[in-house]
Amino acid sequence: MRNTLKSLTKTIIMKPIYNLGTALSILIVACACSKSPKSAITEQPPVSTEPVKTEVGFWLTKGDQSVLFKKQNVALNFSATTNSNPTIEVDPSTTFQSIDGFGYTLTGGSASLINALPAADKDKLINELFGTSDDAIGVSYLRISIGASDLSAAPFTYNDLPDGETDEALAKFSLAKEQADLIPVLKKIVAVNPTIKILGSPWSAPIWMKTNKNFIGGSLKPEYYQTYAKYLVKYIQAMKAEGITIDAITPQNEPLHPGNNPSMYMEALDQANFIKTALGPIFQTAGITTKIIVYDHNADKPEYPIAILNDTEAKKYVDGSAFHLYAGSISALTQVHNAHPDKNVYFTEQWVGGPGNFSEDLKWHVSTLIVGATRNWSRNVLEWNLAADPNYNPHTDKGGCTTCLGAITVAPAVSRNVAYYVIGHASKFVKPGSVRIASNVISNLQNVAFKTPDGKNVLIVCNNNNDATVFNIKYNGKIVTSTLDKGAVATYVW
């Protein structure tokens, strides 16, 4: 994660939420005409709290934060009536990619903050994030760093040695530094959601394998390709022994950005050579079924993953390509899909820059990622990062992200920020195994639709107009009519 690059993204205007209050209801009383000898007070009838009969569930978040991911008690029932409103037509007969899940990067710093909570608070939070209860958001996909990321307190790998030493047998490999926080938190998460998918991404190989023998920058020496592949095998096996299954890995986080702390530079040709000569064959020999996903960097360089997939020897070991969006267009995911439609596409990272602006970033992240990435073939959407403290800590020195706002802030009281709601609008409803289905974008109502494994339809809509918009949802020849304020996000389920 490079601060200078990330400052260029539209998402720089993101503001944390602290101590959200409830709105004060004001009862307006009507006065009688001045000719009347007395003032007459008309009492309003009480608002019913009984659930209305509705065919469509409707969850809403408004940009002004007056409503935050709340189910609405309104009747939305399909009928054969017609009107002139713009209409989003959902067509389940046209299908696209399957969905693996929605979630966050559980950085080392996120794990430390969560693990430091009192036991009862920690369990409650983990159930809220990863569970299936009414008040949970059902996160189904996590990304973790293999070794430290720039949102760890300090850089490390699982085979750090004194200067001048090597360990090609990997006899000193150890997950000991993850036993304090990451592994205990992951075990609790897996207990709540045993099927959660976990992607591992390294920020750096052990520095004795690198050209500059430094955590920042440098490249993996070709003579250590075999050793590093075995290092990744040992990592997957060691995590499995802890009860944690690594579904996929990328060979390198942001391989074209050597300025992070930690980081490692890896050009496309080098990544292809590493995969076809070492990582793929060694995974195969060791019986490792963990997916290999290439690139894991910005959408401005689709030629990087395409170059790897054009190499037939490398391609046979590759499941797909992963993207971030600190540069480029989300449409690049379709470009890569079209070049190699037999390989998958993933969206694995996007930050929220503090302090920011809730309304603008809600709109941008939902429209561009939840809607945009999935409409461009992505099987997942992951926000960076799950948790930070009020000062955006912890992070590494000299290259760590200093303004990365978590989906939650741990102060130690927990507050929920915009990425919590961005992901929640999808993760709660679009379960793994869901399939994207066709829907049209009309009148600046950005949207995407899915069919879930249990047969439900889910439509996520963001109103990118400057005014409230009335529109229809059409399904099987019938419509329901709904209204969204400007910048509001809604999930409809039927």
Active site residues: 254, 349
Single-letter amino acid, residue 326: Y
CA distance 200 to 233: 12
CA distance 451 to 433: 9
Question: b/e map of 276-315 (b: 16 or more CB within 10 Å)?
Answer: bbbbbebbeebebebbbbbbbbbbbbbebbbbbbebeebb
Q: Burial-class residue 322 by CB neighbours within 10 Å (0-12, 13-18, 19+).
A: buried
- What letter would DSSP give residue 150? T
87 phi-psi bin (left φ>0, alpha ψ -120 to 50, beta other): beta
Residues 6, 351: contact at Cβ < 8 Å?
Answer: yes
Residue 320 pairs in a beta bridge with 293, 344
Q: What angle do CA 351, 353, 359 make, to 5 degrees?
A: 100
Task: List alpha helices for 302-376, DSSP H.
Answer: 303-310, 312-315, 332-339, 358-365, 372-375
CA distance 289 to 273: 20
The whole-angstrom distance between residue 122's C-alpha and the CA centroid of its chain comes to 21
Taking alpha carbons only, the member of 224, 221, 283 closest to residue 249 is 283
Task: List alpha helices for 160-319, DSSP H.
Answer: 182-192, 225-241, 268-274, 280-286, 303-310, 312-315
